[in-house]
């Protein structure tokens, strides 16, 4: 069988590309996925207790892009959901992102207005200029004590690096608030797919022009398949057989547990920001799905160096290595590199989708 496109990886990046190519160009697509399921890291499934869990950790859909939201909405209905996260210090829970409630509770203050909180940050912050890394960006806003309490150890655990070794983009994902807004995200669209991500991906890929092969590394079959163009969404260093050395990706070990209680913790996610607790966060999945049940399923996250690649590690040195690989991609004409692993970018799901939609438009323009 001859295909127009071979797509490596059935996550957001690969699936959006496949859907567009099949439905808009009427071209034949083969997706090769090495896992035993579609959906990439957004994959979810019902566990043996009937709770919808995310196999690769909590995935909350949020975007400011109407274009992306409208596009994804073709494949799912939504459940309104605004994500909240608490950080645990000693036996107390505090809103994260840091906001007025966090400051009042932590320092026993009674700030009533954003103005007072702003003044407080002005007093405790340490000016850093230029902002070069993840330590600078937080200390420049809220000073050393809040940095050490909420960011230093969580970041060490998550990345096995000091915040000052990581791009400002990492801790810069977390805003600092002057008000009482306890939501993790403030995007215009914040929802969970009503029947889960996997169902959404199934609808996306249900097309006569799309064929999916699971449990297969593309390198095992590439010699046996005829195709015109490849879209590659796996790790970029693997594509080039680690020619310049391995690019670090951070992995996570998830430990799932079902408990015979209706409810385990006070919010969907609790971040363990202290050094002595080994895991980074605990997720209680019922908050995400809105399910009612007598039992509840939670997951603990332990980050690890080896294992499935989940996060690119944004440091200067890794970026340099990535750019060497990127230069190689420019020498290859019939492969499009796309997604979190292939572009070594800390994309959220909406960004991965937006990026694939952009790459699809470029593909259209190239064809003209
Ligand atoms: P992936 O989902 O990684 O898909 C790549 C696919 O390629 C995988 O299925 C992989 O098995 C396959 N593949 C790789 N190599 C090969 C090969 N050699 N042959 C065949 N197949 C191959 N984003 C949000 O917007 N909100 C969140 O709350 C959120 N939470 C997250 C929590 C965690 C713990 C993690 C790790 C990520 C989170 N994300 C979140 C980010 C989100 O997972 C990504 O944006 C999205 O999955 C990127 O899609 P992708 O297709 O680029 O990559
Ligand atoms: N972070 C932190 N403390 C927190 C939350 C986040 O130090 O309570 C830092 C940490 O380095 C983390 C980064 O900010 O990796 C981004 O956090 P986010 O919750 O966006 O991570 P993700 O959901 O992508 O794992």
Nearest alpha carbon to residue 150 among 110, 84, 99, 82: 99
pLDDT of residue 368: 56
The whole-angstrom separation of Cα 342 and Cα 233 is: 5
Ligand 1 centroid to residue 356 C-alpha, Å: 13
Q: What is the CA radius of gyration of the chain?
A: 22
151 CA closest ligand 2 atom index:
7
**Range(s) within the chain of domains with CATH label 3.40.50.720:** 2-79+191-247+313-365
The residue whose CA has the least distance to atom 13 of ligand 2 is 171
* Rounded CA separation 341/249 (Å): 8
Q: What's the gap in Å between 182 CA and the centre of ligand 1?
A: 27
How many angstroms is it from 170 CA to the middle of ligand 2? Answer: 7
Q: Whose CA is nearest to atom 10 of ligand 2?
A: 155
CA-proximal residue: ligand 2, atom 2 (nearest) = 151
Q: Which residues line ligand 1 (CB under 6 A)?
A: 8-14, 32-35, 40-42, 56-60, 217-218, 233-234, 238, 252, 310-311, 339-341, 347-350, 352
The reported pLDDT for the residue numbered 1 is 79
**Which atom number of ligand 1 is nearest to the Cα of residue 43?**
2
* CA nearest ligand 1 atom 34, residue: 57
Residue 49 CB partners (closer than 8 Å, separation 6+): 258, 293, 295, 297
Pocket test for ligand 2, best of 158, 160, 311 (most atoms within 8 A of CB): 158
Q: Which H or E run includes 201?
A: helix 197-205
For residue 340, what are its two tokens?
A: 């979190």
**Which residue, judged by its Cα, is nearest atom 18 of ligand 1?**
217
Residues of the chain predicted below pLDDT 70: 368
Half-sphere exposure of 246 (CA within 13 A, CB side): 6
Q: Which atom of ligand 2 is nearest to the CA of 85?
A: 8
Contact 68, 37 (CB under 8 A): no
Q: Which atom of ligand 2 is nearest to the CA of 346?
A: 24
Ligand 2: distance of its center to the CA of 174 in Å? 7
For residue 259, which of 225, 216, 234, 293 has the smallest C-alpha distance? 293
The counts of H helices and E strands in the chain are: 13, 17
Instruction: Compute the distance from residue 113 Cα to the ligand 1 centre, in Å.
Output: 40
> For residue 60, which ligand has an atom nearest its CA?
1
Q: Identify the pLDDT of residue 119.
A: 98
Residues with C-beta less than 6 Å from any ligand 2 atom: 87, 96, 150-151, 154-155, 158, 170-171, 173-174, 271, 273
From the CA of 245, how far away is ligand 1's center (Å)?
22
Percent of the chain as helix, strand, coil, to the nearest 5? 35, 25, 40
Q: Which helix (H) or strand (E) holds 239?
A: helix 236-239
* Cβ contacts of 99 within 8 Å, gap of 6 or more: 117, 176, 177, 178, 179, 180, 181, 182
116: tokens are 């007072």
The third-level CATH classification (topology) of the domain covering 2-79+191-247+313-365 is Rossmann fold (3.40.50)
Which of 6, 10, 40 has the most ligand 1 atoms within 8 A of CB, as the residue to mutate? 40
The number of the ligand 2 atom at minimal distance from the alpha carbon of 271 is 8
Shortest-distance atom of ligand 2 to CA 158: 15
């Amino acid at each position: 069988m001859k295909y127009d496109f071979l797509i490596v990886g059935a996550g957001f990046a690969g699936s959006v590309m496949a859907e567009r190519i099949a439905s808009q160009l009427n071209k034949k697509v083969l997706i090769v996925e090495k896992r035993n399921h579609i959906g990439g890291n957004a994959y979810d499934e019902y566990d043996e207790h009937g709770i919808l869990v995310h196999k690769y950790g909590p995935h909350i859909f949020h975007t400011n892009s109407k274009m992306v939201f409208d596009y994804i909405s073709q494949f799912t209905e939504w459940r309104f959901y605004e994500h909240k996260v608490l950080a645990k210090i000693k036996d107390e829970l505090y809103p994260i992102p840091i906001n007025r409630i966090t400051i009042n509770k932590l320092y026993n203050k009674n700030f009533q207005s954003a103005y007072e909180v702003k003044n407080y940050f002005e007093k405790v912050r340490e000016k850093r200029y230029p902002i070069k890394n993840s330590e600078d960006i937080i200390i420049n806003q809220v000073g050393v004590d809040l940095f050490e309490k909420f960011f230093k150890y969580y970041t060490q655990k998550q990345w096995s690096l000091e915040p000052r070794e990581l791009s400002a983009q990492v801790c810069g994902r977390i805003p600092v608030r002057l008000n009482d807004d306890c939501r993790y995200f403030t995007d215009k669209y914040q929802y969970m797919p009503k029947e889960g991500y996997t169902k959404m991906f199934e609808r996306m890929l249900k097309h006569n022009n799309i064929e999916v092969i699971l449990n297969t590394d593309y390198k095992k079959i590439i010699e046996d398949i005829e195709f015109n163009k490849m879209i590659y969404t796996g790790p970029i260093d693997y594509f080039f057989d680690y020619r310049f050395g391995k690019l670090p990706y951070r992995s996570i070990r998830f430990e799932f547990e079902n408990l015979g209680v209706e409810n385990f913790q006070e919010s969907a996610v609790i971040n363990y920001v202290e050094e002595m607790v080994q895991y980074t966060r605990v997720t209680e999945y019922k908050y995400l799905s809105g399910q009612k049940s007598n039992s509840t399923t939670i997951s603990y996250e332990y980050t690890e160096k080896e294992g499935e690649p989940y996060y690119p590690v944004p440091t200067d040195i890794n970026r340099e290595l990535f750019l060497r690989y990127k230069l190689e991609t420019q020498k290859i004409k019939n492969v499009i590199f796309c997604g979190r692993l292939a572009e070594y970018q800390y994309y959220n799901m909406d960004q991965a989708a937006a990026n694939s939609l952009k790459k699809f438009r470029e593909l259209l323009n190239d064809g003209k």
